[in-house]
A = this chain, B = another copy of it.
Amino acid sequence: RIKASGLKLQLCTNETQATREDFVRKLQALGFDISVAEVTAPAPAACRLLRERGLRPHLLVHDDLVPEFADIDKTNPNCVVLGDAAENFTYANLNEAFRLLIGMEKPVLISLGKGRYYKETDGLKLDVGAYMKALEYACDIQAEVVGKPAKRFFESALAELGVPAEQAIMIGDDIVNDVGGAQQCGMRALQVRTGKYRPSDENHPEVKPDAYVNNLAEAVDIILQQL
Contacts and interface: CB of A to CB of B under 8 A. Distances in A.
* Copies of this chain, tallied across the complex: 2
B95 A126 contact: yes
A131 interface: yes
Contact of A137 (B94, B95, B99, B130): B130
Interface in A75-126: 86-87, 89-91, 94-95, 98-99, 102, 116-117, 123-126
Nearest to A114: B137
Nearest to A115: B138
A38 interface: no
B133 A127 contact: no
A138 B127 contact: yes
B130 A138 contact: yes
The main secondary structure of chain A at its interface with chain B is helix
Given A86-B91, A89-B91, A129 B124 contact: no
Given A102-B117, A133-B133, A94 B126 contact: yes
A60 interface: no
A223 interface: no
A24 interface: no
Given A87-B91, A117-B98, A130 B124 contact: no
Nearest to A91: B89
Nearest to A139: B116
Nearest to A205: B140
Nearest to A198: B102
